[in-house]
Amino acid sequence: MLILKGQQALINAGINALEITSNTPGFEQEIAKARTAYKNTLIGAGTIINTTLAQQAIDAGAQFIVTPNTNKSVVELAHQHGLPVLMGALTPTDVANAIEYNADIIKVFPAGSMGVGYFKALTGPFSEAELMPVGGVNLDNLSQWFEAGACGAAVSSDFCKVVNNEQERSKLTRLVKSYISKLP
């Protein structure tokens, strides 16, 4: 979840995609506001666990859908609207199902709980899949996830900051730039 006051700092620092989770109060309005405010940034909806939430996100203008779970109906609905889906999966069965359901990217979640070794083990049998760790990704281990075969990584806790003053904005900007400097 991204707090609106910090979104501009994230974008100014080089972030070009923001996810607004469905458990954010008024998430549909927040998506619409972000789409208006940040025209050159991809604005997506996260924590989309079913088609009801997916439709609300689509109606609000989400440009991509992120799920914590493996749900074929969500992928079908999103793809009908031309939206990519980052589908949550943890087990090999979940990953295989997400591939079968045509998920665009498979969000291994919660990746940090299982560790980089587990993630790397998934890349063996699923070497053709676009796997992305979510949960537990931080500045200290970002490079390890990419070395293990990640196609991308999602960062949440470090970036979910309310920015109340220039000092906090500057600190968040430096943190984002530190992450970006570690990208392959």
Which one from 28, 30, 107, 161 is the annotated catalytic residue?
107
In 3D space, the residue among 144, 28, 35, 145 whose CA is nearest the CA of residue 18 turns out to be: 35
Q: Per DSSP, which regions of 3-130 are E strands?
A: 17-21, 42-46, 65-66, 85-89, 105-108
Separation CA 16–CA 140 (nearest Å):
22
Secondary structure tally for the chain: helices H, strands E: 9, 6
Separation CA 49–CA 67 (nearest Å):
6
Residue 16 token pair:
């070009």
Residue 96 token pair:
């295989």
Which one from 19, 28, 30, 161 is the annotated catalytic residue?
19
Q: Which residues of 54-79 are buried (b: 16+ CB within 10 A; e: fewer)?
A: bebbbebebbbbbbbbbbeebbebbb
Q: Is 177 a catalytic residue?
A: no
Q: Is 120 a catalytic residue?
A: no
For 61, left (φ over 0), alpha (ψ -120 to 50), or beta?
Answer: left
Query: Which residues are the active-site residues?
Result: 19, 107
